[in-house]
Structures are given as structure tokens and as C-alpha cells.
Amino acid sequence: MKRWLAERGIHYLFLLFSAVLGVAVAVVSVWADGAQGADKKLWALIAGMSAFGVVLITHFEKRLVEKGKKRAEERAIRAEADMAKLYSTTLRPLSGKLKALTTLYASAAPLPSSATVQSISDLQQKRQEVLNGVLAGAVSLTAPPVGPAFLPRARCSFYLYDATTRDFKLEGTFPGQRTPRSVVDPVGTAHMKNEILGGGGKTFRIDGVHETHSYLVPPGAGYKAVIAVPVIYGTKEIGILSVDAPDYSDFIDHHVTLMESLADILASTYALT
């Protein structure tokens, strides 16, 4: 209640004063209609002062709205700067170090061939939990839900690469509705393998300026913007992590850093299992 009064109290106070003064102008105009001489001048002065008060209050309220808008813009700028700092100077380096550590560990102490079925199942379960967290995190940190329905606007998917068949399989997607194609056609497969996963990996982005089309999102899917990053550990090509959004403006440059960081975290889980 106190917060509401602090944020909106002045606004409604100004609105009340403006309404009272507006009514005063109308009432005074009626009362002064039949007045003569000094009385008419007095009523005219009161009406003028009331009208001036309405204008003054309207001006002050407009200034408050402009100040509030400016503060909101400044907070948005600071939030974006903080996000960029978090992604670029904290999350990205840490995820890269985690990936390097797990790759080294997997090489020095690989999973023994005698591992029990239960152990393997437990490892797969933990890997699935990480994958689910990566998919959901990418959606909430790029194009979060908006009202009134608050349904997820972005969609994140992970395509697992099979080096034997040279095909991609949809391993996971979030949210569950409007899922992407489970089987990628040959043209899309070549695009993903050669332009994203191959040659050590290269991030691919559809921003509407430099790139306007991706085989990852067929026409009519409801998504325009795409950020697709390779998931690789060592020399092993694991797959592609892709996030889609309805509009190009939903993604900014810092989201590329975020997706690359999430891809490193995902790669680490495959290095260990």
C-alpha cells in the first residue's frame, strides 16, 4: 500500500486538484453570468485563477511522467549494461573454463567400460536435467514471456549430431508447444553441419540485416530471429543449440554471448558422460 501511494499517490492527488479546479471554473462561470461591476470582476478573477491552476497542475503532472519515463529508460540502459557485463566478463569465461576442465577430466579419467547400467542411467538423467535447464534458461533470458497471457515467446532446441550417419536429431526443445521439426531435411542438415558445426564451429545468427533466412526455421513457423551455436568439446562435434524468437528486435548482441556460454555448459555434460 505504501509503495502504491509513493508511486501513484501524487498522480491521483494532481488528478483530484485538476478536477476540483475544472469544476470550479464551470461553477464560477455560471455564477458570474448575472453579476455586474466589481462582483463580475471578482468572479472573473477566481475563474481565471482556477483555469491557471488546471494548466499548472497539468504541466507538473506531465513533467512527472517525463521524469518517470526517463528514469525507466535509464534503468533499462543500466540493466542491459549489467547483463552485458555478466555475460561477457563472468558467465562466458567461467563456462569456457568449465568446458576445458571437464574435457581434460574426461580424457584423463574416462567412464570405464565396466560401469553399471544404473550408473550410466544416473549420468544420463543428470545430463537431461542440465539440458532442460539450458533450454529453459535460454528462453527466459532472451525473449521472456509478456502479458497478458505470459506464454513463452522464444523457443530453444538442441539438435544432437550423429557423426556416423551425419544426421541431426532433435534431442530436446522448450517450450513444449510449437515444437520444431524432429527430422531435419538434407538441405537443412548440410547448412547446420557446414555453416555452424563444421570447421571448429561458428555461431550463426538471423538478425534481419546480414542474414534473413535459416533452414532451422521454415517459413510459417512464427519465428524470425535465430541464434544457433555449435556444441563441441575437444574435437568431438556434439550438436547445435538454437534459440528462436518472433521478432529480430528480441535478440541483442549480448544474447549471442549468452548462447555460447550455455553451449559450453551443455558441452561439458557430454564430455563427462
pLDDT values of the chain reduced to their tens digit, one per residue, 273 residues: 555 445 555 655 655 565 555 556 555 554 555 555 566 566 666 666 666 666 666 666 676 666 666 665 556 546 566 666 777 778 888 888 888 888 888 888 888 888 888 888 888 899 999 999 999 999 988 887 777 777 888 999 999 999 999 999 999 999 877 788 888 888 889 999 999 999 999 999 998 888 877 777 766 678 889 999 999 998 899 999 999 999 999 998 889 999 999 999 999 998 876
Rounded Cα–Cα distance for residues 166 and 201 (Å): 15
Which pLDDT belongs to residue 150? 76
Which pLDDT belongs to residue 130? 93
The full 3-state SS of the chain, as one line of letters, equals CHHHHHHHHHHHHHHHHHHHHHHHHHHHHHHHHHCCHHHHHHHHHHHHHHHHHHHHHHHHHHHHHHHHHHHHHHHHHHHHHHHHHHHHHHHHHHHHHHHHHHHHHHHHCCCCCCCCHHHHHHHHHHHHHHHHHHHHHHHHHHCCCECCCCECCCEEEEEEEECCCCEEEEEEEECCCCCCCCECCHHHHHHHHHHHHCCCCCCEEECCCCCCCCCCCCCCCCCCEEEEEEEEECCEEEEEEEEEECCHHHCCHHHHHHHHHHHHHHHHHHHHC
Rounded Cα–Cα distance for residues 96 and 102 (Å): 10
Q: How far is CA 165 from CA 153, 180, 196, in A?
A: 33, 21, 17
Rounded Cα–Cα distance for residues 170 and 108 (Å): 30
Which pLDDT belongs to residue 132? 94
Rounded Cα–Cα distance for residues 194 and 210 (Å): 18
111-272: CATH superfamily = GAF domain (3.30.450.40)
Count of other CB atoms within 10 angstroms of residue 184: 21
Residues 6 or more apart in contact with residue 129 via CB below 8 angstroms: none
Which pLDDT belongs to residue 110? 81
Annotated domain spans of the chain: 2-73, 111-272
**CA-wise closest residue to 264 among 94, 87, 128, 95:** 95
Cβ–Cβ < 8 Å for 128, 165: no
Gyration radius from the chain CA atoms = 30
Count of other CB atoms within 10 angstroms of residue 273: 16
